[in-house]
């Protein structure tokens, strides 16, 4: 296993992979190394423990943990490490992801988990990048360029809407 891995991505089930891959895609875009695995807080707690307690030794600086339903994975991981943990509540079938959101965000005092929106693994990836950029000027410059690109795209869309009007804009 490589020692230059900066971000760990862990999910409670491989059914979460479609959502969690959005974080990986963004990390790849920024040239940030990561590892990705599956471990359940409930079905394989020993694997979750081993992952969290070994993360620092593998060079990981930030962990992104995604799970649906009871969604305790991020909290369990955070309880075993001093690394920042970003929780991604994954949309569930029964409560449309609200159960996942509440389970991930409502942590007891002393065990913080930064929580993004339901299915928002891309934002989790972006937050991990922002955390890493605090001590990396090259990464900070890439983040600035990323945000500038978003700004420019929105500006172009606004100008196009103003020029065409909403009916013609929607036709295209």
Give per-residue pLDDT as tens, 140-169. Answer: 999 999 999 999 999 999 999 999 999 999
**pLDDT at res. 41:** 95
Q: How many domains does the chain have?
A: 2
What share of the chain has pLDDT > 70, as a percent?
Answer: 98
Q: Are residues 121 and 106 part of one domain? A: yes
| Greatest pairwise CA separation for the chain in angstroms | 59
Q: Are residues 118 and 89 part of one domain? A: yes
DSSP state, residue 149: H
Question: What confidence tens digit (pLDDT) does each residue in 24-74 have?
Answer: 999 999 999 999 999 999 999 999 999 999 999 999 999 999 999 989 999
Identify whether the C-beta of residue 63 lies closer than 8 Å to the C-beta of residue 52: yes
Q: How far apart are CA 140 and CA 155, in angstroms?
A: 23
CA atoms within 13 A on the CB side of 7: 28
Q: Are residues 106 and 172 part of one domain? A: no
Tokens, residue 18: 């479609």
Question: What's the predicted TM-score (pTM) here?
Answer: 0.93
Q: How far apart are the first and last CA of the chain?
A: 48
60: domain range? 7-135
Q: Are residues 61 and 32 part of one domain? A: yes
Q: What stretches of 42-167 adopt beta strand conformation (E)? A: 62-68, 85-90, 114-115
Q: Are residues 81 and 43 part of one domain? A: yes
Identify whether the C-beta of residue 78 lies closer than 8 Å to the C-beta of residue 107: yes
Q: Tell me the CATH number at 80.
A: 3.40.50.1970
- Degrees to nearest 5, angle at CA 125 with 48 and 138: 120
Q: Does 108 map to a domain?
A: yes
């Amino acid at each position: 296993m490589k020692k230059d891995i900066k971000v760990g991505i862990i999910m409670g089930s491989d059914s979460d992979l479609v959502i969690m891959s959005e974080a990986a895609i963004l990390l790849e875009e920024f040239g940030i190394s990561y590892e990705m695995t599956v471990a359940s807080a409930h079905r394989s707690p020993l694997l979750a423990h081993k992952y969290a307690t070994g993360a620092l030794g593998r060079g990981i600086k930030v962990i992104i943990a995604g799970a649906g339903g009871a969604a305790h994975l991020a909290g369990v991981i955070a309880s075993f490490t001093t690394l920042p943990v970003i929780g991604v509540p994954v949309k569930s079938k029964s409560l449309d992801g609200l159960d996942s959101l509440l389970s991930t965000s409502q942590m007891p005092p002393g065990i913080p988990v930064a929580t993004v929106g339901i299915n928002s693994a891309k934002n989790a990836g972006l937050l991990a990048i922002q955390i890493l950029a605090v001590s990396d000027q090259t990464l900070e410059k890439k983040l600035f360029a990323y945000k500038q690109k978003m700004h420019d795209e929105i500006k172009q869309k606004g100008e196009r809407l103003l020029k065409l009007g909403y009916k013609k804009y929607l036709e295209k």
